[in-house]
Amino acid sequence: MKNLFGGGSDEEVIRLAGEFLTKDAVVESIFTVLPNLQKLKFSHDRHLGLFNEVLGGNREKEGELQAVRQEVSAQLGLFRGMALLAGTQDPTIPQKLGLQQQQPITKRTAGILTAPENSRMVYDGHTIVARANAVKGAKSYEVWGCDGDPMTESNWRHLTTSCRVNRIEIAGLTPGKMFYFRIRAIAPSGPGSWTNFMSMMAI
């Protein structure tokens, strides 16, 4: 029977829901990887503690610091995706977080460059260096930074542009301040997609 409210016919919706109910273990596992405020606070506190240790001279903790930084960045990226998804039901949620809804892909933007993969920020002495994999068709790469709420688009500003993406040095940052970074490829036709943002404190 046709569903007058949209979303597929009754038969289709019943079938899909039934299939999900038979895969309860898989569905339950989704919730174990989703972020929550408790997980984020724990990771944030650990990130801050490890950063202070490295800042104090404990270079042996640099590996742990990089790992927890990537963990926090991944959780923030998931939160952003969840907020945008929730926005399909309640548009005020991403609006309150300062997120812009992704525009539908048109023929004009269908050939947009992909986001650089394996993006990361590392310390080289007291210098922060951005690194990622090259993107086919890219002529240069931009790094943008944010020292405020990374969910608010107006907080982001251009930091530097480089012809190579395997080593982009970031200068002019205030020591002791936490920054968020993101990278995108640039082609003659325009900019590509952003990477997920990454966090690191300037030293």
- Residue 128's pLDDT is what? 93
Based on the number of CB atoms within 10 Å of its own CB, is 194 exposed (0-12), middle (13-18) or buried (19 or more)? middle
- Residue 15's pLDDT is what? 80
CB of 141 within 8 A of CB of 184? yes
Task: Tell me the mean pLDDT in the region 170-192.
Answer: 91
- Residue 138's pLDDT is what? 94
- Taking the C-alpha atoms of residue 101 and residue 194, their distance in angstroms, rounded to an integer, is 14
The dotted CATH code for 120-201 is: 2.60.40.10
- Taking the C-alpha atoms of residue 113 and residue 86, their distance in angstroms, rounded to an integer, is 27
Which has more confidence, 115 or 100? 115
Q: Which DSSP symbol is given to 192?
A: -
Residue type present at position 113: L
Residue type present at position 120: R
- Residue 115's pLDDT is what? 93
CB of 195 within 8 A of CB of 165? no
180 pLDDT higher than 70 = yes
154 pLDDT higher than 60 = yes
107 pLDDT higher than 50 = no
Cα atoms in the 13 Å half-sphere on the side-chain side of 18: 6
Sequence-distant (≥ 6) Cβ neighbours of residue 65 within 8 angstroms: 47, 50, 51, 53, 54
- Taking the C-alpha atoms of residue 66 and residue 44, their distance in angstroms, rounded to an integer, is 13
Based on the number of CB atoms within 10 Å of its own CB, is 73 exposed (0-12), middle (13-18) or buried (19 or more)? buried
Cα-based distances in Å from 182 to 9, 32, 109, 129: 42, 27, 20, 12
Task: Give the pLDDT band of residue 106 (cuts 50, 70, 90).
Answer: very low
- Residue 159's pLDDT is what? 95
- Residue 105's pLDDT is what? 44
Where would I find the H helices in 22-164?
24-33, 37-55, 62-86, 92-96
